[in-house]
Amino acid sequence: MIAEHLPALQVVIPLMAAPLCILLHRASGAWFVSLVASWCSFAVAVALLGQVQAGGPISYPLGDWAPPWGIEYRVDMVSAFVLVIVSTIGAVVIPYARASVEREVPSDRAYLFYCMYCLCLTGMLGIAITGDAFNLFVFLEIASLSSYVLVSMGADRRALMAAYRYLIMGTIGATFYIIGVGLLYMMTGTLNMADLAERLPAVAETRTILTALAFLTVGISLKLALFPLHLWLPNAYAFAPSVVTAFLAATATKVAVYALIRIYFTIFGGIDVFETMAVREVLMGLAIVAMFAGSLVAVYQNNVKRMLAYSSIAQIGYMVLGISIASVTGLSGGIIHLFNHALMKGALFLALGCVVLRLGSAHVRDLDGIGRRMPLTMAAFVLGGLSLIGVPLTVGFVSKWTLIQAALERGWWPLAVIILLTSLLAVIYVWRIVEVSYFRPVPEGAADIAEAPASMLVPLWVLAGACVYFGARAEQTVTIARAAAATLLGVSP
């Protein structure tokens, strides 16, 4: 009975937890509710992935209204994988949040923080699970609106401005998306993705559809911070509370990448957008520029949070690059990087949150000798950094390996060279932090600081450990990602 309704529960549990947080009105109560909700979502997502692996895609008509009239929740390999990514990060971040939120968010607003967190989780899970283009917009807005609030809760006054800019850009993105969906509806009269996929090829050549595709692409590109539409991201990540940065960096952009994949390969699945609609050139070009620009700017950043934010822009470039290659290997490279980047950026930002908790700053000049003062935290940071570079036995290597293979498969070897080159840029900015934290002496007269509390170290090390575990045992993720890519492209894996 419950197994049947898992798709609905996936979204309903965190959605119901949100008002409960408000009703409880106390930080500890709200935290506990979010903890239970996150862990339940995680369990549901894992169960769903198991069901899909065993029995193929699941279709769940909401309220028993049959699709395409009613809203359909549809769980296939890709969505199940993204659900697991998002809910894992949620489940890992929430135990960590308690101590960090206590330090960075005023206590009378902490319950609001948890409420917004639950809504944000709801939105992102919803985006991943829904099979309806308009419903996706609704969840996109739930996730976005709540994340604006989360960002604005940062202790720094600039957080408000950052959230405001994020709000404007996010809203434009959502508007573009809904305009695109509107145009599609105009031509096909349906909002269900599978139904759209069937009806679109007949009208593919019309200007309306071409315009719709342009609007959808730009709208989602804004949400996933594809260069040069990334401008809202660095400040939002830099000034948000540490937990929010870790959570959003690991999930929000990933979900947007997922939406982009859905648009290209499910909604427009009947048309080869990459060959016929000049999408590839722009996407690939922007991805490459993002990889270079993001990494280069990251090299010179002095606020480590900002540095990692720019590195995220570069990493999003890798994912989009994988999509734009549009072969099974390329797409699976993008999907693997989705997962791997969630792990490594999650770990890096969590480590940084521990540093902020003790030092009150994430500026490079304050990190002298931090490796000796907080050995466990910084060791995890180094693991995350190694993954970012793509050192073998870490997840980063698996992603880059797959992407390079995909590029060579198509015979586009300059792409492979570019991937290697940008990895070297990552060496530079990661090394900067390693040098400061391990090779500089601890400043004279610095106050003694303790290692972060266990409630933060355990989640941090879960992610850092996962970076190595899934780097060494890559078959699981590679198999899932390949299966997902094959489903999307409609070929056998």
Partner 1 sequence: MTTNPALILIFGALPIPLLQGRLRTAYLLALPLVGLGYAFALEPGLHWQVDFMGYGLELLRVDRLSRVFSYIFFFAAFLGNLYALNDNDPVQQVAAQVYAGSAIGAVFAGDLITLFVFWELTAVSSVFLIWARGTERAYRAGMRFLIIQVGSGVLLLAGLILNVRDTGSIAFDLLGVTSPGTALIFIAFGIKCAFPFLHNWLQDTYPEATVSGTVILSVFTTKLAVYALARGYAGTEMLIWIGATMTAFPIFYAVIENDLRRVLSYSLNNQLGFMVVGIGIGTEMSVNGTVAHAFTHILYKALLFMSMGAVLFRTGTIKGSELGGLYKSMPLTATFCIVGAASISAFPLFSGFISKALIITAAANEGYWLIWAVLLFASAGVFHHSGIKIPFFAFFAHDSGKRVQEAPWNMLLAMGIAAALCIGIGVWPGPLYAILPFPVDFQPYTSAHVINQLQLLFFSALAFTWLMRTGLYPPEMRSTNLDSDVVYRKLLPWLVRRFLAVFGPVDRAARRLATESVERLIAVVFRRTGPKSVLARTVAVGGMVLWVIVLLGVYLLLNFT
Q: Which residue, 10 or 235, is less far from partner 1 as judged by CB?
A: 235
Residues 196, 73: contact at Cβ < 8 Å? no
Q: Which residue, 148 or 310, is less far from partner 1 as judged by CB?
A: 310
> What is the Cα–Cα distance from 31 to 111, expressed in whole angstroms?
7
Q: In angstroms, what is the minimal distance from the CB of 299 to partner 1?
A: 7
Those residues whose C-beta lies under 8 Å from the C-beta of residue 469, and which sit 6 or more positions away, are: none
Q: Which residue, 416 or 486, is less far from partner 1 as judged by CB?
A: 416
Q: In angstroms, what is the minimal distance from the CB of 392 to partner 1?
A: 5
Q: In angstroms, what is the minimal distance from the CB of 358 to partner 1?
A: 24
Q: In angstroms, what is the minimal distance from the CB of 58 to partner 1?
A: 28
Residues 208, 280: contact at Cβ < 8 Å? no
Q: Which residue, 74 or 305, is less far from partner 1 as judged by CB?
A: 305
Q: Which residue, 120 or 213, is less far from partner 1 as judged by CB?
A: 213
Q: Which residue, 56 or 285, is less far from partner 1 as judged by CB?
A: 285
Q: In angstroms, what is the minimal distance from the CB of 489 to partner 1?
A: 19
Q: Which residue, 210 or 486, is less far from partner 1 as judged by CB?
A: 210
- Residues of this chain that interact with partner 1 (CB under 8 A) are 165, 168-169, 172, 176, 207, 210-211, 213-215, 217-218, 221-222, 228-229, 231-232, 234-235, 277-279, 281-282, 293, 296-297, 299-302, 310, 391-393, 398, 401-402, 404-405, 408-409, 416-417, 420, 424, 427, 439, 472, 474-475, 478
Q: Which residue, 13 or 236, is less far from partner 1 as judged by CB?
A: 236
Inter-CA distances, 441 with 367, 437, 446, 450, Å: 10, 8, 11, 17
Q: In angstroms, what is the minimal distance from the CB of 214 to partner 1?
A: 4
Note the residue count of the chain: 493
Radius of gyration for the chain, computed over Cα atoms and rounded to the nearest angstrom: 21
Q: Which residue, 219 or 459, is less far from partner 1 as judged by CB?
A: 219
Q: Which residue, 103 or 440, is less far from partner 1 as judged by CB?
A: 440
Q: Which residue, 6 or 406, is less far from partner 1 as judged by CB?
A: 406
